[in-house]
A and B are shown apart, each in its own frame.
Chain A
Amino acid sequence: MLRYIATRFVIWVPSVLLVMMAVYALAFYGAGDPIKLIFLRAPGDVAYNPERIEAIRESAGLNKPFIEQFGYYIWNLLQGDFGNSLSSGRSVWAMVKAAAPVSFKLALCSIVLTALVAIPLGMIAALNQNRRLDYIILGSALFLWAIPAYVAGPLLMVGLIVLLPGVNVPYGWGGVFDIRILLPLIVLSFQPIALIIRQTRAAVIEVLSEDFVRTARAKGVPEIVVALKHILRPVLTPVVTQLGLIMITIVNGAIFVELVFGLPGLGRLTVKALTNSDYPVILAITLIGSFLVMISNLLVDILYPLLDPRAADARRSR
């Protein structure tokens, strides 16, 4: 197993290098001079002193060719040095370390909420296929899927203010067990929930027509046991494989949710870095996002054979 994980990691490295190189190239050729950017934000008599700028450029190795600079960046990265933010001068690693827990906790809660809400709902919809309840659940899922977080968030806030005038708008961050997490969590989970409801429904409908479900019924197994044991387990396999996609949805959604609800996480850090053209930060966040998706996909591959003994055999024989 360890060897398998290592192999996956080795495959992942070139893809993430490609992405980072692309981002680095964009920064290198597109963003303009990082030194000038620093000075533009710290105006004073040194700001437009060309000699001073040249000196700093020289000492920071910024007049070297692209490949050399990129290699230098990666070299530092391997030693755990993400560089310093262009706008604040703080260590990128420190900024990320402060922001990441907020986003990770939110993402984890969102995945748990999604599993708890979406899998039962998808199952209920499938068991009532083509009846009113199915249409209601499926319609809501399509609706949730289509509403972007930056529309749902504000509209929910407006709605709360109008409906409950006395209530304080939940804004800001106080940890997982703070009431203020509710609204962003719900908005962030809309798309994953919609995705999993549809996946679960489709998988259950497929399993329902399987012969072994008929066998279970012919054995006189109670309906509830048929649903929870014979149907749910084979359904979990295709649903779990969606984890990577869900991670992408959550990472994308977090940018807007954190912005709208004012959460001090990676999403807000991203937006700030973008408006400031703060490339060291952007590179770090790209790396983390890509890493998260890779880990999710890896997790899926590890979970898969546990859920489906046929896959376990296939892997062993490979």
Chain B
Amino acid sequence: MSAVQTEPATLSEEPPVSLWRDAWYRLKRNRLAIFGLCVIVLLAFTAIFGPYLTPYDFLGQDLEARNQAPSFAHLFGTDDLGRDVFSRVVYGTRTAFLVAVVVTAIALVIGTVLGAVAGFFGNPFDRVIMWLTDVTMSVPNLLLVVVINASLKTPIAQWMEARYLETLNPFYRETVWIDFLLVFGSMALISWPPYARLVRAQVLSIRSRPYITAAQALGLSNRIILTRYVIPNALGPLIVAVSAGLGTAMVLESAFSFLGVGVNPPTPSWGNMISDGLRVWQHYPHLLAAPAAVLGLASVAFSFLGDGLNDALNPRGSK
């Protein structure tokens, strides 16, 4: 212990760890968040590989076996066309993840660009962009998306039809893509404001924070300041927002499909399966329960993980 005399005391109680190791440590101790993470990983795996592994085709009809209750042959039973509900739920997972990931990615890009522009260049960009986020956020967003979806579907379908007649390219007959295109576009259109606000706030506050000034005063290069200080500090809140955004997008997608303006049958989506199930739930509750339960599980998992990430990455805010 005699060496203590010359050794300056370090600032933490334990060997210093990096921000991410520290965050991972905190996350690991949060049981709900780990549960959420496991569910999400499982669902993601299902979304990617599931459709190849299911025993039935999600469109395969078996009119001999309609509206069957769950059994070993059909884990979640069958629907009114004799389709295997389990296979459809599995394919619905792919739909849900596809929409969630693409929408969040588009929204993130739009939001980051607009937020950074607003933060870096200031007025008049700042004022206009912030006004747009305010407007978008102050309208009941569901309404807006539904309106966009409902009204653009017909013209786009007509356009595709016309292109097909002109070119005879079979691509233009794939109407499934219209659904996805509309869902992606309209949802991204209402999902970007939180990211824009976040990025703008980060840019503004980080630029003026004492530790950046301190780092500049120490003569660190801009690159080091950017990679060591700015990005890690901005990334935390963004990761939290993205994990929450993925969950929200997933729920929104099924909401639109539920209302009949999102992904339409026969492509399975949890939302349109719930909507179908709702019509016959008195007789065949499993048709409602299976997709509803999976949607609930996925949404809860994202909510748990998002909350855990928030606690882990923004330690000051939580405790």
A and B touch in the complex (CB under 8 A): yes
Whether A150 touches B258, Cβ cut-off 8 Å, given contacts A31-B151, A290-B140, is yes
When C-beta atoms are compared, the residue in chain B nearest to A145 turns out to be: B303
Residue B238 at the A interface, CB < 8 A? no
- Which of B32, B143, B275 has the most A CB atoms < 10 Å from its CB? B143
Segment of A18-26, A93-101, A113-121, A231-239 in the binding face: A18-26
B265-281 CB mask vs A (1 if < 8 Å, else 0) is: 00000000011011001
Whether A32 touches B154, Cβ cut-off 8 Å, given contacts A15-B135, A154-B292, is yes
Tell me if B147 and A275 are in contact (CB < 8 A): no
> Smallest Cβ distance from A70 to chain B, in angstroms?
15
Tell me if A275 and B260 are in contact (CB < 8 A): yes
Tell me if B300 and A289 are in contact (CB < 8 A): no
Whether A293 touches B138, Cβ cut-off 8 Å, given contacts A142-B32, A143-B300, A148-B299, is yes
Residue A128 at the B interface, CB < 8 A? no
Tell me if B155 and A252 are in contact (CB < 8 A): no
Query: Which chain B residues in 200-258 approach chain A with CB under 8 Å?
Result: 247, 251, 254-255, 258
Residue A161 at the B interface, CB < 8 A? yes
When C-beta atoms are compared, the residue in chain A nearest to B308 turns out to be: A142
Tell me if A252 and B134 are in contact (CB < 8 A): no
Question: Given A32, A143, A148, A293, which contacts B254 in the complex, CB threshold below 8 Å?
Answer: A148
Tell me if B295 and A297 are in contact (CB < 8 A): no
Interface residues on A, range: 35 or more
Tell me if A148 and B155 are in contact (CB < 8 A): no
CA separation between A145 and B260, bound complex, in Å? 23
Determine the chain B residues whose CB is within 8 A of the CB of A157 once the complex forms. Answer: 281
CA separation between A148 and B278, bound complex, in Å? 14
Determine the chain A residues whose CB is within 8 A of the CB of B292 once the complex forms. Answer: 151, 154-155
Whether A286 touches B299, Cβ cut-off 8 Å, given contacts A146-B247, A161-B282, is no
Question: Given B135, B143, B278, B296, which contacts A251 in the complex, CB threshold below 8 Å?
Answer: B143
- Which of A30, A143, A290 has the most B CB atoms < 10 Å from its CB? A30
Residue B289 at the A interface, CB < 8 A? yes
Determine the chain B residues whose CB is within 8 A of the CB of A154 once the complex forms. Answer: 274, 277-278, 281, 288, 292
When C-beta atoms are compared, the residue in chain B nearest to A286 turns out to be: B143
Tell me if A294 and B258 are in contact (CB < 8 A): no
Determine the chain A residues whose CB is within 8 A of the CB of B131 once the complex forms. Answer: 15
Residue B69 at the A interface, CB < 8 A? no
Tell me if B147 and A289 are in contact (CB < 8 A): no
When C-beta atoms are compared, the residue in chain A nearest to B294 turns out to be: A151
> Smallest Cβ distance from A223 to chain B, in angstroms?
22
What are some 17 contacts across the A-B interface (CB < 8 A)? Answer: A15-B131, A22-B144, A26-B152, A146-B302, A148-B254, A148-B255, A151-B295, A155-B292, A158-B288, A251-B140, A251-B142, A256-B255, A271-B259, A274-B146, A275-B260, A286-B143, A289-B143
A residues apposed to B, CB below 8 Å: 15, 18-19, 22-23, 26-27, 29-32, 135, 138-139, 142-143, 145-148, 150-151, 154-155, 157-158, 161, 202, 205, 244, 248, 251-252, 255-256, 260, 270-271, 274-275, 277, 282, 285-286, 289-290, 293-294, 297
Give the 4 A-B CB pairs with smallest separation, nearest first: A30-B151, A146-B299, A26-B151, A146-B303
B residues apposed to A, CB below 8 Å: 32, 131, 134-135, 137-144, 146-148, 150-152, 154-155, 247, 251, 254-255, 258-261, 274-275, 277-278, 281-282, 285, 288-289, 292, 295-296, 299-300, 302-304, 307, 317-319
